[in-house]
A and B are shown apart, each in its own frame.
Chain A
Amino acid sequence: MATVTLRAQAPARRVGLLAGLEHTATLAWRNLVQIKHNPMELMDLSIQPVMFLLLFTYVFGGQMSGSTHAYLQFALAGIIVQNGLFATLNTAVGLNNDIQKGVFDRLRSLPIARSAPLAGRVAADLLKQVWSMALMLGLGLALGFRPGAGVLGVLGATLLMVVFALAMSWLSVLIGMLASSPEKVQMMAFVVMFPLTFSSSAFVSPATMPGWMQAWVKVNPVTALVDAMRALLNGGPLAASLTHSLLWAAALAAVFFPLALRAYQGRA
């Protein structure tokens, strides 16, 4: 049995910023190293994006745009956005899992920065987000996608996706804190995210849709994001859609960040 001794010193009451960052980094590491032992997660992060990219391109491509190559050029931005928005819900699933399994309580009983369990999770999920996006871009390039706006455009698109995902992740945190089980979160992903991402400019030009649908698609924040991503990746007019999508990101964060934090502190 390991020797256990009484700890006499009373450590600082508040956790310093540097220590807080270290705690966050450790917990982000925890969420990343999990991938090693959980093939399912690798599947979510790698195989699913690749599968969607290949299916959309080679099943729909010919019919949609006359050639798979042309459709890939059009749809890559949309596929990346859809995948990225779905991935934001991983934050909810992970947090909820930690709460149900008691891991969350264990972390909160440690003398660490109160924000670290949340920040570590969100940071790790954003890194996963970048990985999935890089994979899709790489595969896209290999299949013939040509970024019309060059390297800067690709970097800008990655940044925009991360910013938007970060804004969305507060909604995800809120869901994760309130949902009664990880399964419910997964269900929500399908019920909300599928219609939300499909009823946008992600996969087809809205011009072919019925009028009432076009009206919705125009105001759907996913459309703004897809249009901005497409402009960044393919080239084309950017200002309006970029402003529009950044405003949406700001609005989402403004609404859900305080709500998520309140739910989190309610537990903390």
Chain B
Amino acid sequence: MEFAIRAEGLVKTFGTTRALDGVDLVARTGTVLGVLGPNGAGKTTAVRILATLLRPDGGRAQVGGLDVVRDAGAVRAAIGLTGQYAAVDEMLTGTENLVMIGRLLGLPRPAAKARAAELLAGFSLTDAGGRAAGTYSGGMRRRLDLAASLVGRPGVLFLDEPTTGLDPHSRGELWDVVRGLVADGVTVLLTTQYLEEADQLADEIAVIDHGRVIAGGTPDQLKAQVGGQTLELRPARPAELPQVRAVLAAVSGREPELSPTGLLSVPARDDSVMPAVVARLTDAGLVAGELALRGSSLDEVFLTLTGHREPATDEPNDTMKVGV
């Protein structure tokens, strides 16, 4: 099966709100599809439809080759779901939570216990296995939640904002878990508000806004859509700003943008821009205090596509600083 997830024209309305307005999504088997979008874009609604929790008003979707409406029962046997809230029973221990799921999936009690122990060990929760989940930290609870969705060894995993509210360390741990699952052949659909998360994990990204997919492709393709790289320059002597600005404009053919902190930036379409700028500055006797070539981040992609910046953005980590 080439595509583990395939949705066409999904529509869902709640009252007068059109939560999904014809959404297409595909995920190749064994890859991560990142669904990126702001709050209220329709990400969770799409996941709930694919996980059989909600019936679409229009369109259709297949998970593992099975129709999510007609074959809902079989779809449920093939998927794991980790929702936005760590959906663990706080009054049961970690072990009991996992044993319960195992029993519900038809495992005999000893097998359910063995599977629980295996998963607890895999998620570094063995020591906490006998404690009520209510006493767990946020990161531990998320890990238990993820473990619970893996009891049945699902081939397709839905992760709805799995790291929202987690500290950077716990987030990194969860990313590693996702990478491990994908290495084992699991297909993952991950919704996120964090551009960095989509960049780190997703093979393909679908950007959703107002219930529509407004862009799609690999992270690199998306970044390329917005334009190559950006050259950033801060004059060493603020008085030279007009001259430096003129140099940048001459080389790039575009009027530079000036940030409130005094940083000038222009798009750098090709590799010749940087050496040309350096040469011109040297000729004119101007000094750059800070000069950098930066790949466009998904952050900018998002801004360009949706017209609004996400609150939860992280520093782009593909900055290449060049000292002059």
Contact = CB atoms under 8 A, between A and B. Distances in A.
Interface stretch (A13-21, A85-93, A228-236): A13-21
16 contacts: A3-B184, A7-B154, A15-B73, A30-B100, A33-B96, A34-B91, A37-B93, A38-B91, A102-B84, A102-B87, A103-B87, A103-B88, A105-B48, A105-B87, A106-B83, A109-B76
Nearest to B102: A26
Nearest to B148: A106
Nearest to B48: A105
B119 to A, nearest CB: 5
Contacts of A108: 52-53
Interface of B: 48, 51-53, 66, 71, 73-74, 76-81, 83-93, 96, 100-101, 103-106, 118-119, 121-122, 132, 134, 148-150, 152-155, 177, 180-181, 184-186
A235 to B, nearest CB: 42
Contacts of B89: 30, 34, 103
A265 to B, nearest CB: 11
B122 A1 contact: yes
- Mostly, the B contact residues are mixed
Nearest to A112: B104
A2 B73 contact: no
Interface string A1-45: 111111100111111000100110011011001100110010000
A161 to B, nearest CB: 26
Taking each of A37, A102, A109, A112, which has the highest tally of chain B beta carbons within 10 Å of its own beta carbon? A109
B102 to A, nearest CB: 9
Given A7-B154, A101-B90, A110-B101, A2 B119 contact: yes
A144 interface: no
Interface of A: 1-7, 10-15, 19, 22-23, 26-27, 29-30, 33-34, 37-38, 41, 101-103, 105-112, 116
Contacts of A22: 103, 106
Contacts, number: 114
B292 to A, nearest CB: 38
A111 B85 contact: no
B91 A37 contact: yes
B53 A105 contact: yes
Nearest to B76: A111
Contacts of B104: 23, 26-27, 107, 110, 112, 116
A151 B75 CA distance: 52
Given A4-B153, A22-B106, A34-B91, 14 more contacts: A1-B181, A5-B185, A6-B185, A7-B152, A10-B74, A10-B77, A26-B104, A27-B104, A30-B92, A34-B92, A38-B132, A102-B86, A105-B83, A109-B53
A5 B76 contact: no
B180 to A, nearest CB: 4
Given A4-B150, A6-B185, A13-B71, A101 B105 contact: no
B153 A5 contact: yes
A72 to B, nearest CB: 34
Contacts of A103: 87-89
Q: Which 8 A-B pairs have the closest CB atoms?
A: A102-B87, A6-B155, A102-B85, A34-B91, A2-B122, A111-B76, A111-B77, A1-B180
A202 B215 CA distance: 67
A38 B91 CA distance: 6
Nearest to B179: A1
Given A10-B66, A23-B104, A38-B91, A106 B77 contact: no
Taking each of B89, B105, B132, which has the highest tally of chain A beta carbons within 10 Å of its own beta carbon? B89
B154 to A, nearest CB: 7
Taking each of A23, A30, A107, A111, which has the highest tally of chain B beta carbons within 10 Å of its own beta carbon? A111
Given A1-B122, A4-B153, A109-B53, A12 B73 contact: yes
